[in-house]
Chains A and B, each alone.
Chain A
């Protein structure tokens, strides 16, 4: 057994810094590279693409990235785990195989983890008594069934471990949790048991530290952003995992960024609910048990973690169409910038009333004044400039377009010293809303397919 393994975070979300995964492999020794691509909205977009063309539906720019990344992975014997497979992991795997064959990587094993996509099973699930109730509202899915555009179960580390056991060096998955892709290598390498809750929870917390990329290593760092070195080439986190169930978080020396108790604490608290009850498909982790100790500069030990048995349910992420939003912005300047923006808001609202347009919601904020702070923002006297931010939400596309036509005319028909309308009419965007639900684990079975490059 290895004394420890190094699991590098290569991407915090689809659209993150493109060369970070390349730097993670090139700039030092790592055993695994993990990359997170998926958000709820992403699944819906990919599902639409797949409906038009059955050979797509995965993170498209992951494939061109692999032209550069794959040779590095092979050269340095690094295993890649990513959920870039979206709603079509098998197609993504085949696209990677095409690159591997062209480059002559004979013997390389590539795996797809799938079975999470339950869109086509929804009706049979509902008719067999799975109501897929919304975890927040308690409503049955049948109330929005016709608008549903994607439905995916969140799998944990287990199917990824299966792919690792089959010898895969590149694993593309569908909706596997961000924490599962970091936990899987630890279970695989150290032979951790599926009921060793403390160790599993340690891996989950390692995954939580990795899952947002540089946000764990000096990016978006409140306490000391001014002192983070070389943010233009910020080093993403590397989780060093040890068989006894502790971690050391670090980064490559040659890259920028900062790993300290403070940067790790901020990331641990990111998107956290009840800290004692952090539920994943693999276990429940207790964030109130985490101990941190800075061993050396850019090396933080994470230990003492407690975990508890997993629940009988998978979380399901369902997306559905729920109308439209449109947001317009106009910039007003000194003198009386705020008053001008307020007047413009009043005019637009009166116009909407005059035209008989009704919306589910209409909402105004003033950027540069109180948009971000709301009631916590103290008033300021005579700001240099204020941006009127006015948005509406509704289900009638025609009426939404009529709102969109009402913003730009203010430039010539409203208060003076107005600018910043270069983007033209506000866009009318579809709202793809999120429906969180639970499904008993025995209802769905993850699938693993491993192929060898010949």
Chain B
């Protein structure tokens, strides 16, 4: 196993629903999906975001798209028009999740 930044295995898009940010993490190749699914647990994602996410993290699997959808609750400083954050609508949470370091089997890590 080798530590690899998620950016090498996935792309992402994020948005908001009130004070909840959603972030979709999409495998760049179909064979990466299982690795991402195993590594990106709700606990690990919650811990990666630290104080950015005050509520719970929920994960939904979408094997049909090779994707995971995460809901990060209480993550936008009140959300909508209430928030004082520069990223009021969670637009760049996509980049933030791709900074995660995950364990990747050596034979796949070699190809990245």
A40: nearest chain-B partner, CB-CB: B80
Complex Cα spacing A378 to B99, Å:
10
**Size class of A's contact patch?**
35 or more
- In this assembly, does B44 line the interface, its C-beta being within 8 Å of a C-beta of chain A? no
Q: How many residues from B make CB contacts under 8 Å with A?
A: 42
A340 to chain B, nearest CB (A): 19
Question: Beyond A374-B52, A375-B50, is A365–B86 a contact (Cβ under 8 Å)?
Answer: yes
Question: Beyond A266-B11, A271-B15, A273-B17, is A288–B81 a contact (Cβ under 8 Å)?
Answer: no
- Which B residues are CB-close (under 8 A) to A432? 81
Stretch in contact with the other chain, from B34-42, B65-73, B104-112: B65-73
- In this assembly, does A381 line the interface, its C-beta being within 8 Å of a C-beta of chain B? no
Task: Name the interface residues of B65-112: CB closer than 8 Å to any CB of A.
Answer: 65-67, 69, 71, 77-78, 80-82, 84-87, 92, 94-97, 99
Q: Which of B13, B51, B82 gathers most chain A CB within 10 Å?
A: B13
Task: Tell whether, in the assembled complex, residue A271 and residue B22 are in contact, meaning their CB atoms are under 8 Å apart.
Answer: yes
Task: Tell whether, in the assembled complex, residue B13 and residue A434 are in contact, meaning their CB atoms are under 8 Å apart.
Answer: no
Complex Cα spacing A67 to B61, Å:
47
B18: nearest chain-A partner, CB-CB: A136
* Residue in B12, B28, B82 whose beta carbon sits within 8 Å of that of A431 in the complex: B82
Question: Beyond A41-B81, A262-B26, is A374–B18 a contact (Cβ under 8 Å)?
Answer: no
- In this assembly, does A272 line the interface, its C-beta being within 8 Å of a C-beta of chain B? yes
Question: Beyond A289-B64, A433-B82, is A375–B26 a contact (Cβ under 8 Å)?
Answer: no
- In this assembly, does A446 line the interface, its C-beta being within 8 Å of a C-beta of chain B? no
* Residue in A222, A372, A375, A433 whose beta carbon sits within 8 Å of that of B51 in the complex: A375
Task: Tell whether, in the assembled complex, residue B69 and residue A269 are in contact, meaning their CB atoms are under 8 Å apart.
Answer: yes
Task: Tell whether, in the assembled complex, residue B51 and residue A374 are in contact, meaning their CB atoms are under 8 Å apart.
Answer: yes
Task: Name the interface residues of A327-372: CB closer than 8 Å to any CB of B.
Answer: 327, 361, 363, 365, 367, 371-372
- In this assembly, does A231 line the interface, its C-beta being within 8 Å of a C-beta of chain B? no
Question: Beyond A372-B86, A391-B84, is A436–B18 a contact (Cβ under 8 Å)?
Answer: yes
Complex Cα spacing A376 to B52, Å:
8
Question: Beyond A223-B28, A288-B64, is A373–B96 a contact (Cβ under 8 Å)?
Answer: yes
A278 to chain B, nearest CB (A): 11
Task: Tell whether, in the assembled complex, residue B13 and residue A266 are in contact, meaning their CB atoms are under 8 Å apart.
Answer: yes
- Which A residues are CB-close (under 8 A) to B67? 265, 269
A66 to chain B, nearest CB (A): 30
- In this assembly, does A38 line the interface, its C-beta being within 8 Å of a C-beta of chain B? no
Task: Tell whether, in the assembled complex, residue A376 and residue B96 are in contact, meaning their CB atoms are under 8 Å apart.
Answer: yes
- In this assembly, does B32 line the interface, its C-beta being within 8 Å of a C-beta of chain A? no
Task: Tell whether, in the assembled complex, residue B22 and residue A273 are in contact, meaning their CB atoms are under 8 Å apart.
Answer: yes
- Which A residues are CB-close (under 8 A) to B71? 273
- Which B residues are CB-close (under 8 A) to A267? 13
- In this assembly, does A389 line the interface, its C-beta being within 8 Å of a C-beta of chain B? yes
Task: Tell whether, in the assembled complex, residue B80 and residue A266 are in contact, meaning their CB atoms are under 8 Å apart.
Answer: no
Task: Tell whether, in the assembled complex, residue B81 and residue A433 are in contact, meaning their CB atoms are under 8 Å apart.
Answer: yes
B71: nearest chain-A partner, CB-CB: A273
Task: Tell whether, in the assembled complex, residue A270 and residue B65 are in contact, meaning their CB atoms are under 8 Å apart.
Answer: no
Complex Cα spacing A270 to B93, Å:
12
B101 to chain A, nearest CB (A): 11
- Which A residues are CB-close (under 8 A) to B78? 361, 393
Q: Can you list 22 residue pairs at the A/B interface with Cβ under 8 Å?
A: A222-B13, A222-B94, A223-B11, A265-B26, A265-B65, A266-B12, A269-B65, A270-B13, A271-B15, A271-B17, A272-B22, A276-B60, A288-B60, A288-B61, A288-B63, A291-B64, A292-B65, A325-B81, A371-B85, A372-B86, A378-B99, A431-B82
- Chain A residues within CB distance 8 Å of chain B: 40-41, 136, 220, 222-223, 262, 265-276, 287-292, 304, 322, 325, 327, 361, 363, 365, 367, 371-378, 389, 391-393, 431-434, 436
In the A-B complex, the 10 residue pairs with the closest CB atoms: A269-B24, A375-B50, A391-B84, A223-B11, A271-B15, A363-B84, A374-B52, A266-B13, A376-B96, A222-B11
